A and B are shown apart, each in its own frame.
Chain A
């Protein structure tokens, strides 16, 4: 037996495991170079990025392969690690690898300035985070899954609390850990239900079980709760807007862009793969939860004044849309309408990839803005397009993609999602049929509100006049940061312009889950994306872009040829008002005001209005979450009261504690005897 692995016969699964191992090794190396900034950031992180690229390459080929399995003799005796690489896991590995590559390269520049934790430790946590995310999607038994899942939660918790000397960040990390663990318990219970008392926790065994209607629904609900807590579905979203702003930007990018997707992976794995049949009401429940999260997220995002909180709420919105798409797929699948289920699922998976790219990009750009200016509050930014043009233009692409505008990536998934709603009439249940237009309308509303939010985000940070003096000294992003962001921008553009190619990658995944795919329909239309037939719907992003670009250039040239191109620079006109200051622009609060007014019941607002005779008038408004007040605080109060009751047991005298032990012992003996 040779010690060297047999490289000639390596399968994709071996390659993926090699990348995971290498990531862990990089992390371990970081521990030995605890405070050597240069080595950790300029060698280890770029290597990690390279591995991410490699992983995405391997995953790209693995999508089209038959599922491969492996059993690793790790873990407890009698409980080896079961791993499986199929289309679904390959697709998510692709997303993890491709996004991780960009974020790692960016991190090489970002962590160069140091956070509260030594760079070597950050390196360990970061790479462990990446490796465990990959392991989560590879797992083929509940045991590996839970180990990877919990390690992922822990490593991300340490990353979130990288600046652990700030109390708010510690609190945010604690909240995150708490919600993650409550979710994990639900997932564990879900696996317990799925194995149906056989004691065999491999996924292969769970697939073979035929659960009754009640137990399969119970498993689904537990999975929805557990994974929903990780994904940030209503009402378990509260950790997201706290943890994302607290974490360093590359970590927020990974958490929002990739980690939330592992929860989506979990929902898909349980509801389509481990559970063989679906019930229609699961889909309706997911639709309702998804839409509620989406609307809630976008409305709150529009009212935020902290740029990273804004993006965190926008993540809730996007996860909601994803969930709605999956819910629709579940409804279709439960009625046996496979092609439609495939369409809805394709839309959701497309959004998984597209959201991973644009949201990571936006989080990274907030990181650059933070480093350039030291400000996170939208009210103190402005005009950065003139001082940091590189960040601004890159962000603009991310903003357009996030707002769901053609021809960028966000629009494709939105388009596919709306298409799947339009093909809906024909469901056997008339009530569902009636619900569909309402749902489609809500999705359109959410998408339009996302546009509002993104205009606010970009306009307040990068446009206008700088609201603070120091912004004029802001420095543009460094080469590593530019490299990482450029990679993600390319992703946004490529996903936007080449949907027909990417749908070929999604096709095997939907075939695996709902036994139908869009690949054959989409192929053979050149530059057009045609989900069903040309006369039903088609979209050609490249022609679209060329059309706008051609009109742009023609207009430009014709105007220059027929007239002139003279420009005179002068002071802004502004209706002739000469004493303009930067403080007269709309603030972030001002831009959110119409949303606050229209969607008033969504918010828990406290407003301080100045008196008419006030010498130094101040206007102050804070918005809070109803869920926090009506759901979390009461639960916290109950828990605290229970803790106080139990606390009375605590006497502080050793004799009393010994008495407790003694009584327990007696009780046990009596129990054993009887």
Chain B
């Protein structure tokens, strides 16, 4: 039974990785938000499962918190933001998907190799997934680097936070409650600030393309 549960956690971890790849190869902003919501939901499921498998009730709380924040609140905020910015059907044009995926595979190999020795030290049910979580972090980071528009960058940032959260769950059964609450608050504040920031650049440059910010440097 425990073996099956652990395999199920692995499956959810793989789903997270797959969603990360889907996100780096998605050009539409709307689909990106959907994928982000799905990633949050997968994270919630994985957390509940790890909590059940290891009998750690505090993981249920953090799962609930994640659900409220990442499946309900942030997607809602993002939807409102793209409506008000009128970028619901925007498409990012400048990404070369196969190249991104090849770089992604390189990152995955790197992350897996990095995680193997750490995973051997750990004794948790989800130790095998540490490599996947690390890969997700790196992929989200790459997404932030390669995107030119503001909203995909914000989503990349949020998905990186998701991956970090999953890594914590996988490696040490989550962080202490205080830290978790703090991070949740941070993310929420972060998204608000970023929202304000997005409206600001929109007003300044009449576009959400953050390459315009390059003009702000000193001449």
A–B contact at 8 Å CB threshold (below):
yes
Interface residues of A (CB under 8 A from B): 430-431, 434-435, 438
11 A-B pairs (CB sep. < 8 Å):
A430-B112, A430-B113, A430-B116, A431-B109, A431-B113, A434-B109, A434-B112, A434-B113, A435-B109, A438-B105, A438-B109
Across-interface contacts of A430 in B (CB, < 8 A): 112-113, 116
Q: How far is the CB of B88 from chain A (nearest CB, A)?
A: 31
When each residue 101-139 of chain B gets 1 if its CB lies under 8 Å from chain A and 0 otherwise, what string results? 000010001001100100000000000000000000000
Across-interface contacts of A438 in B (CB, < 8 A): 105, 109
Q: How far is the CB of B115 from chain A (nearest CB, A)?
A: 10
Q: In the complex the two chains form, what is the Cα distance from A435 to B109 in whole Å?
A: 8
Q: How far is the CB of B23 from chain A (nearest CB, A)?
A: 22
Q: In the complex the two chains form, what is the Cα distance from A122 to B157 in whole Å?
A: 70
Chain A, residue nearest B113 (CB):
A431
Interface residues of B (CB under 8 A from A): 105, 109, 112-113, 116
Q: How far is the CB of B145 from chain A (nearest CB, A)?
A: 19
For the complex with contacts A430-B113, A434-B112, 4 further pairs of A-B residues with Cβ separation under 8 Å are A430-B116, A431-B109, A431-B113, A438-B105
Across-interface contacts of B105 in A (CB, < 8 A): 438
Chain A, residue nearest B112 (CB):
A434
Q: In the complex the two chains form, what is the Cα distance from A189 to B109 in whole Å?
A: 37
Q: In the complex the two chains form, what is the Cα distance from A325 to B109 in whole Å?
A: 22
Across-interface contacts of A435 in B (CB, < 8 A): 109
Across-interface contacts of B112 in A (CB, < 8 A): 430, 434
Across-interface contacts of A434 in B (CB, < 8 A): 109, 112-113
Q: How far is the CB of A284 from chain B (nearest CB, A)?
A: 14
Q: In the complex the two chains form, what is the Cα distance from A122 to B116 in whole Å?
A: 62
Chain A, residue nearest B108 (CB):
A434
Q: In the complex the two chains form, what is the Cα distance from A430 to B105 in whole Å?
A: 16
Across-interface contacts of B113 in A (CB, < 8 A): 430-431, 434
Q: In the complex the two chains form, what is the Cα distance from A438 to B104 in whole Å?
A: 12
Q: In the complex the two chains form, what is the Cα distance from A434 to B105 in whole Å?
A: 10
Q: In the complex the two chains form, what is the Cα distance from A434 to B111 in whole Å?
A: 11
Q: How far is the CB of A297 from chain B (nearest CB, A)?
A: 19
Across-interface contacts of B109 in A (CB, < 8 A): 431, 434-435, 438
Q: How far is the CB of A434 from chain B (nearest CB, A)?
A: 5
Q: How far is the CB of B24 from chain A (nearest CB, A)?
A: 18
Q: In the complex the two chains form, what is the Cα distance from A434 to B107 in whole Å?
A: 12
Q: In the complex the two chains form, what is the Cα distance from A430 to B119 in whole Å?
A: 13
Q: How far is the CB of B119 from chain A (nearest CB, A)?
A: 11
Q: How far is the CB of A140 from chain B (nearest CB, A)?
A: 44
Q: How far is the CB of A335 from chain B (nearest CB, A)?
A: 18
Q: In the complex the two chains form, what is the Cα distance from A438 to B109 in whole Å?
A: 10
Q: In the complex the two chains form, what is the Cα distance from A435 to B105 in whole Å?
A: 10
Chain A, residue nearest B116 (CB):
A430
Across-interface contacts of A431 in B (CB, < 8 A): 109, 113
Q: In the complex the two chains form, what is the Cα distance from A434 to B116 in whole Å?
A: 11
Q: In the complex the two chains form, what is the Cα distance from A92 to B195 in whole Å?
A: 70
Q: How far is the CB of B99 from chain A (nearest CB, A)?
A: 9
Q: How far is the CB of A56 from chain B (nearest CB, A)?
A: 44
Q: In the complex the two chains form, what is the Cα distance from A435 to B113 in whole Å?
A: 11
Q: How far is the CB of A281 from chain B (nearest CB, A)?
A: 16
Q: How far is the CB of A287 from chain B (nearest CB, A)?
A: 15
Q: In the complex the two chains form, what is the Cα distance from A407 to B109 in whole Å?
A: 36
From A430, A431, A434, A438, name the one whose CB has the most chain B CB atoms within 10 angstroms.
Answer: A434
Q: How far is the CB of A449 from chain B (nearest CB, A)?
A: 15
Q: In the complex the two chains form, what is the Cα distance from A117 to B113 in whole Å?
A: 60
Q: In the complex the two chains form, what is the Cα distance from A431 to B114 in whole Å?
A: 9
Q: How far is the CB of A226 from chain B (nearest CB, A)?
A: 31
Q: How far is the CB of A259 from chain B (nearest CB, A)?
A: 35
Q: In the complex the two chains form, what is the Cα distance from A72 to B113 in whole Å?
A: 55
Across-interface contacts of B116 in A (CB, < 8 A): 430
Chain B, residue nearest A601 (CB):
B99
Q: In the complex the two chains form, what is the Cα distance from A329 to B168 in whole Å?
A: 41
Chain B, residue nearest A429 (CB):
B113
Q: How far is the CB of B46 from chain A (nearest CB, A)?
A: 23
Q: How far is the CB of A428 from chain B (nearest CB, A)?
A: 13
Q: How far is the CB of B107 from chain A (nearest CB, A)?
A: 12
Chain B, residue nearest A434 (CB):
B109
Chain A, residue nearest B102 (CB):
A438
Q: How far is the CB of A538 from chain B (nearest CB, A)?
A: 31
Chain A, residue nearest B98 (CB):
A598
Q: How far is the CB of A16 from chain B (nearest CB, A)?
A: 48
Q: How far is the CB of B118 from chain A (nearest CB, A)?
A: 12
Q: How far is the CB of A337 from chain B (nearest CB, A)?
A: 20
Q: How far is the CB of B86 from chain A (nearest CB, A)?
A: 34
Q: In the complex the two chains form, what is the Cα distance from A435 to B108 in whole Å?
A: 11
Chain A, residue nearest B109 (CB):
A434
Chain B, residue nearest A441 (CB):
B105
Q: How far is the CB of B114 from chain A (nearest CB, A)?
A: 10
Q: How far is the CB of B102 from chain A (nearest CB, A)?
A: 10
Q: In the complex the two chains form, what is the Cα distance from A434 to B109 in whole Å?
A: 6
Q: In the complex the two chains form, what is the Cα distance from A435 to B112 in whole Å?
A: 11
Q: How far is the CB of A528 from chain B (nearest CB, A)?
A: 35
Q: In the complex the two chains form, what is the Cα distance from A431 to B112 in whole Å?
A: 9
Q: How far is the CB of A123 from chain B (nearest CB, A)?
A: 51
Q: In the complex the two chains form, what is the Cα distance from A438 to B112 in whole Å?
A: 14
Chain A, residue nearest B117 (CB):
A430
Q: How far is the CB of A292 from chain B (nearest CB, A)?
A: 14
Q: How far is the CB of B94 from chain A (nearest CB, A)?
A: 15
Q: In the complex the two chains form, what is the Cα distance from A438 to B105 in whole Å?
A: 9
Q: In the complex the two chains form, what is the Cα distance from A56 to B159 in whole Å?
A: 64
Chain B, residue nearest A600 (CB):
B96
Chain B, residue nearest A431 (CB):
B113
Q: In the complex the two chains form, what is the Cα distance from A582 to B147 in whole Å?
A: 47
Q: In the complex the two chains form, what is the Cα distance from A438 to B116 in whole Å?
A: 18
Q: In the complex the two chains form, what is the Cα distance from A188 to B116 in whole Å?
A: 44
